[in-house]
Amino acid sequence: MSSSKHYFKGFDTLRFVAAFLVVIQHIYITFNTHLETDIFKPIKHIFLRGGLAVEFFFVLSGYLITYLLLIEHHKSQTISIKDFYMRRALRIWPLYYIIVLLGFFIMGVIIPKMGFSDYNPLEDKWAYVLYIIFLPNLANSIYKPGFLYPLWSIGVEEQFYLIWAPIFKFFRKYIFLIFTIIIVVKALIIPYLIASEIIVSEHLIYFVNTQKFHQMAIGAMFSLLFFHKKDELKNWVIFKSTLIQCFLFGLIVIVICINTSRLWFIGVIFGGVLGQVIVAMLFGYLLIILSIFDKTYINMENRITKHLGQISYGIYMYHMFVLYILTFSLLKIKPLIADNVYYFYIAYAAAGMFGTYIISVISFKYFERSFLNLKKHFKG
């Protein structure tokens, strides 16, 4: 039985939590790197969960995009690739190119004029080209990206979207085979080629490792499961059992909160690309639970987190811009920081989060929303 559900309770909250973890990681890394400190070192793993959050974004993206394609095909018996591309462009491109232009101007013009010549990562014209044509992950593998670093994941999503709609339209009969090939290639074959030194270029290895198509494919698989088996899923033991839910949610909490490198058995399970597959399946399980049950043990839907989730794209995109402004301001008073490093860190983190929030709200209300309103003209 298919589902026509369009809004999933709790997803906005998860978006915000993931974006928040990314911001926390970049606050920690940016402050310690540029100001040459090493605070909170014994518990630094708590601050470094942004990579895991981005992996969740990939799973969520694959889940939602595939679901929307399923809805469209269910209603019209076809997929409009043009409309799909237009909807994605209206959501992603405006803010993406705003950040790219800011990066070009600030890192290429302003920062060098301030006397920080070491902070100009865009000395090669090809760096500009790669960011413009949505290959920021390739640009990051070759050049120092500065505050454009987070754009790599946006590039990966766009690269996935480019192929996903045509695949879904013309090869739906083989979709699970395609999923399997994507996952096997990324989780087994590519790691083997790297380990065997068949792939030796550092730039190529970096670029290949950014391709998280396997995580998006896993999200898509769970989306298909929900769309076609919604009513049956409520009766599957793995979803309705409180004990199993607690166990699997506990694994997610362990992965997010605990320094798994100190727990060898967790490291063995969740290390490497195969570990990414397992974690992606845990995230997919979480999305299924929120999709099929109107109420969960933890309230994942409230006005505040829903609002923060709606502006999470802006939070993700603007936060490094805000942090770089703060960082270069602090560099001017660097000698004063050593004796008050913890106070400065708290102030830096608070200013970074508040500044990011304000800019994201303004951007969503007065810039992004105008483009989002145009999506209704491309419903497929």
Rounded Cα–Cα distance for residues 360 and 365 (Å): 9
CB 20 within 8 Å of CB 305: no
Rounded Cα–Cα distance for residues 22 and 130 (Å): 23
- Is pLDDT of 362 > 50? yes
Q: Mean pLDDT, to the nearest integer, of 230-258?
A: 86
pLDDT score at 270:
55
- Digit-coded pLDDT (tens) for 110-167: 777 766 655 555 677 788 899 999 999 999 888 877 788 999 999 999 999 999 999 9
- Is pLDDT of 296 > 70? no
- Is pLDDT of 6 > 80? no
- Is pLDDT of 11 > 60? yes
- Digit-coded pLDDT (tens) for 254-283: 888 776 555 545 555 555 677 788 889 999
Among residues of the chain, what percentage have pLDDT more than 70?
91
Domain ranges for the chain: 11-375
Q: Mean pLDDT, to the nearest integer, of 308-337?
A: 89
**pLDDT band at residue 331 using 50, 70 and 90 as cut-offs:** confident
pLDDT score at 1:
44
Q: Supply angle C-alpha 318, 328, 149, rounded to 5.
A: 40
Rounded Cα–Cα distance for residues 12 and 299 (Å): 12
Q: What residues contact residue 50 under an 8 Å CB cut-off, 6+ apart?
A: 21, 22, 23, 24, 25, 26
pLDDT score at 125:
79
- Digit-coded pLDDT (tens) for 193-232: 777 778 778 888 888 888 899 999 999 999 999 999 888 9
- Is pLDDT of 295 > 70? no
Q: What residues contact residue 164 under an 8 Å CB cut-off, 6+ apart?
A: 65, 66, 69, 216, 220
Rounded Cα–Cα distance for residues 230 and 282 (Å): 18
